[in-house]
Amino acid sequence: MNPLAATTRLIHARTSDAGYVCGLMLRTAMALPRLHHRLRFLLDNAFNAGVRALPVTLIVAAFAGAILAMQTGIELRRFGDTAVLGTITALSMCREMGPFITGVILAATVGSSIAAELGTMKVSDEVDALEVMSIDPIDYLVLPRVIALAVMCPTLTVLSNLIGIYGGSIIAEQNLGVAPDLYWVSAIEALTSSGTLVPKEVYVGLLKSLVFGVTIATVSCAAGLRASGGALGVGLAVQTAVRNSVILIIVLGFVITWFFYFLA
Amino acid sequence: MIEIDNVHKRLGDRDILRGLTLRVPKGVNFVLMGPSGTGKSVTLKHVIGIFRPDQGDLRVDGQDVAAMNRSELMNLRKRMGYLFQNGALINWLSVAENVALPLKEHGRLPKSELDERVHQVLKLVGMDHAARQSPSDISGGMKLRAGLARALITRPEYVLYDEPNAGLDPIISQQIHELIAEVRDTLSVTGLIVTHSRACATQCGDRIGILEDGRLGVEGSVDEIVASEHPLARAFMGEGAD
């Protein structure tokens, strides 16, 4: 096969995918005024997303905070500066680790489930059935899922941040000999030092998680709605949803950090 | 009346429809038959506006379907019902909720009247006993009947049937065929039926068209097609077919 033609075809396919996702996001935003018709589905989806992802998120966040404190503490101990451990753990969790962990777990659990559910509906003609009943699938299927994740991702991120910082405090006290009071005072000071009502570290992290939630839901819905070819197509849709969500989480996380800490 | 004139459609790298022309007069059941992959289901999806033709005209009651915008298409679809191969019921809704969905979504009726309409239409298809069941708990034949109830609840002028007896045993198939004929007779609904089944064609149909290579190979009344010596007619309607 001609490598140039293959590359052109790949670029065309990826551009078409990206265009579809952007179009879907736009159409979902335009469907927002009809959200009050979908409150039951919204609550069902939010509950499912929260319940499904909560245990894994909390376990991973606790260990991530512990690992962060352990690795940083080992180096800080060499310089006799373990007093700032609370600061470093709190800032890392709120700015980056909390939203990232929550996003990746939601992509793997809820995003994959959305892609499988909508993919199965697509290949079994249920999406076409909605169309022929004059029911907009964006309004009926996509909107409640996007809003549910837009709400649940920041909510889970807050819990993930708290549990991560707590996980770090256990390691700080047990393995590095940092007094709990010192750890928590330095953590709270780090998060409130900006002097704003909502500390910058917190709102930037929450903004990231909001963007991640919307992205995961939209990318997963897009993958499901474009599934074709039976069970194999549904499997590919799930794979596409998780892969694209994780890539976008990392890229968008970088862009938001860069914007708030280097540009703004 | 459904009028399809010289419609062409390419999907992926295959030409599915290659100049299909057919007429479905009001009040008749038109049966569309043909080998797999000749564009029968694609034709139905053109009629209801899911696909748009690459070339050619498609009109329903004189309105050009291909030229319709989204809101015009939605209005057209409110006058049509569509029975999918497996019923295509929404899995998280009960049978009754599925049937009520088109009316509920468009908010046309008060709840008491909506419940009454759901009950009537479920009774018509013999599914009133299963109203509260989930689609995952009912058989293929029941799913089809529930799908038909959903297609009929808006009191459509046209119903498009996509292989209404696929995968069903002969007894259930017979019930579905009787139901389709009853819908035409009692509700004066125009039907476009895609099937491979000779029994379905003879029991439900008034006219039969057989597709070949994306266009109509042979067309006529049921008696004409049954008596025809055309090879396609023999293959689908001759002795030993079905």
Question: Which of B75, B78, B84 is facing A125, going by the closest CB pair?
Answer: B84
Examine residue B84 and state whether it is found in any structural domain, yes or no: no
Residue B187 lies in a domain: yes
Q: Are residues B150 and B187 in the same domain?
A: no
d(CA B126, CA B141): 11
Chain A interface, Cβ < 8 Å to B: 121, 124-126, 128-135, 140
Question: Does the pLDDT of residue B183 top 90, yes or no?
Answer: no
Interface with B, mutate which of A134, A143, A226, A234 (most B CBs under 10 A): A134
Look at residue A101 in the predicted model and tell me its pLDDT: 94
Same domain, residue pair B109 and B119: yes
B45 touches chain A (CB under 8 A): yes
pLDDT for position A197: 67
Same domain, B101 and B136: yes
Among partner residues A129, A135, A140, which is closest to B84 by beta-carbon distance?
A: A129
pLDDT at residue B166, rounded to an integer: 77
Residues B21 and B57 in one domain: yes
For position A1, what pLDDT does the model report? 67
Q: Quick one: average pLDDT of B186-197? A: 90
Residue B206: CATH number of its domain: 3.40.50.300
How close is the nearest chain B Cα to the Cα of A128, in Å? Answer: 8
Shortest Cα–Cα distance, B121 to chain A (Å): 16
pLDDT digits (tens, 9 = 90+) for B4-29: 999 999 988 888 999 999 999 998 99
pTM: 0.86
Domain annotation covers residue B26:
yes
Q: Are residues B133 and B65 in the same domain?
A: no
pLDDT less than 50: residues of chain A: none
What pLDDT was estimated at residue A167?
95
- State which of B107, B131, B155 marks the end of a domain: B155
Give yes or no: residues B8 and B36 share one domain: yes
Examine the fold and report which residue of B136, B155, B174 is the final residue of a domain before the chain moves on: B155
Within-domain flag for B170: yes
- ipTM of this complex: 0.84
Pairing of strands B207-212, B215-221: antiparallel
Into how many domains does chain B fold?
Answer: 2
Q: Does B104 touch chain A (CB under 8 A)?
A: no
- Clarify whether residues B68 and B96 are in a common domain: no
Residue of chain A whose alpha carbon sits nearest to that of B41? A125
The answer to whether residues B40 and B149 belong to one domain is: no
pLDDT digits (tens, 9 = 90+) for B46-92: 999 989 999 999 999 999 998 898 888 888 888 899 999 888 999 99
Q: What is the mean pLDDT of chain B?
A: 88
d(CA B165, CA A14): 40
Asked, for residue B85, whether it belongs to a domain, the answer is no
What pLDDT score does B178 carry? Answer: 87
User: What domain range is B132 assigned to?
Assistant: 91-155
Q: Is residue B242 part of a domain?
A: no
pLDDT at B240 over 80: no
Contacts of A134 in chain B (CB under 8 A): 73-75, 77-78, 102, 105-106
Whether the predicted pLDDT of B239 surpasses 90 = no
pLDDT at position A42 is 92
Domain end position, chosen among B155, B171, B192: B155
pLDDT, tens digit, 9 for 90 and up, residues B155-167: 899 999 998 887 7
pLDDT tens column, B197-236: 888 899 889 999 999 888 888 889 988 988 888 888 888 8
Q: Give how far B72 is from chain A: nearest CA, Å.
A: 10
